[in-house]
Amino acid sequence: MKILISSCTKHDATEFKETKLYTSILKNLNDTCIISDDVMTFLSGNINAVVKLKNDKNIGIHYNKCIALGKAEGFDCVIFIHDDVSLEDSLLSSKLTEAFKTYDVVGLAGTKDVVLRKPALWHLLSKEQDRSGIVAHADGNYITSTYFGPVPQRCILLDGLFLAVKLKNLPSEVVFDEKLPAIAHHYDLDFCLTANKHKLKLTTWPIWVVHDSPGLENVESDFIKSENYFLDKWLKN
């Protein structure tokens, strides 16, 4: 399987090399690294990566460029992943190959049913019994796991910390919304609803990562603007 990893970071190249994403997998590709126009590109066999450095725009802009690149260069899938995620699964390629036999979009955590409302966070838009997934979190010197529900499970929404998208037959309309008024809020929910609208199948899958973040801790103005835009868009559909 030919995989393209896509990520955005607020850091410059030096700072990015301290992130969990870099130290877990991309450092092994560093000999192939090219930096141009604040984009860090790693070219190495079946796993390539494109990272937008010093990003201050809607991450969907970069993600859509990677979808186009992946299609043009014959990649099987694009993995969209946060820079604070350690990608630790040595069986990643074989697991995605198996998942893509049935599904089009693979995540780590999600829900099979939603009611759109505020606050627009995937786990708060669903009932506990509808959730699925396991995500490990770094807690000092310890690793703790959050269990959302049984895996795998077909879902409507998936958490954007890790999204793997099969590129074969991906409709051109299934892209990230570049009009969302935030850097990194609701892009994942919007993408998932778009994928569902175009009859794609989404699922959780047991892929081992460690997320070095507790999630959203403070609701700021850009979250509220993004939330309003997202809900206005989808409640009209």
Q: What is the CATH number of the domain that holds 93?
A: 3.90.550.10
What is the model's pTM? 0.95
Write down the pLDDT at residue 215: 59
Q: Please, which residues have CB within 8 angstroms of residue 203's CB and are 6 or more apart in sequence?
A: 99, 102, 103, 105, 106, 107, 110, 152, 153, 154, 155
pLDDT at residue 216 greater than cutoff 60: no
The token duo for 198 is 């175009």
User: Where is average pLDDT lowest: 11-15, 26-30, 174-178?
Assistant: 26-30
pLDDT band at 213 (very low <50, low <70, confident <90, very high): confident
- The yes-or-no verdict on residue 229 having pLDDT over 90 is yes
Across-strand partners of 50? 6, 41
For residue 28, what pLDDT is reported? Answer: 85
Kindly state the average pLDDT of the residues 160-184: 97
Report the run of H or E that residue 155 belongs to, with start and end: strand 154-155
Average pLDDT of the residues in 132-141: 89
Per-residue pLDDT, averaged over 66-86, amounts to 97
Range of the domain at 112: 3-235
Paired sense of beta strands 109-111 and 157-158, if any? antiparallel
Mean pLDDT computed over 94-116: 97
| C-alpha 173: how far from chain center | 18
Buried b / exposed e over 75-94, threshold 16 CB at 10 Å, is: bbbbbbbbbbbbbebeebbe
- Where residue 44 falls among pLDDT bands split at 50, 70, 90? confident
- In the chain, pLDDT over 70 holds for what percent of residues? 97
State the Cα–Cα distance between residues 164 and 4, nearest whole angstrom: 9
Number of domains in the chain: 1
**Residue 206 pLDDT exceeds 70:** yes
pLDDT at 80: 98
What is the C-alpha separation between 128 and 130, in angstroms, rounded? Answer: 5
| Cβ neighbours of 38 (radius 10 Å) | 12
Q: What is the mean pLDDT of the chain?
A: 94
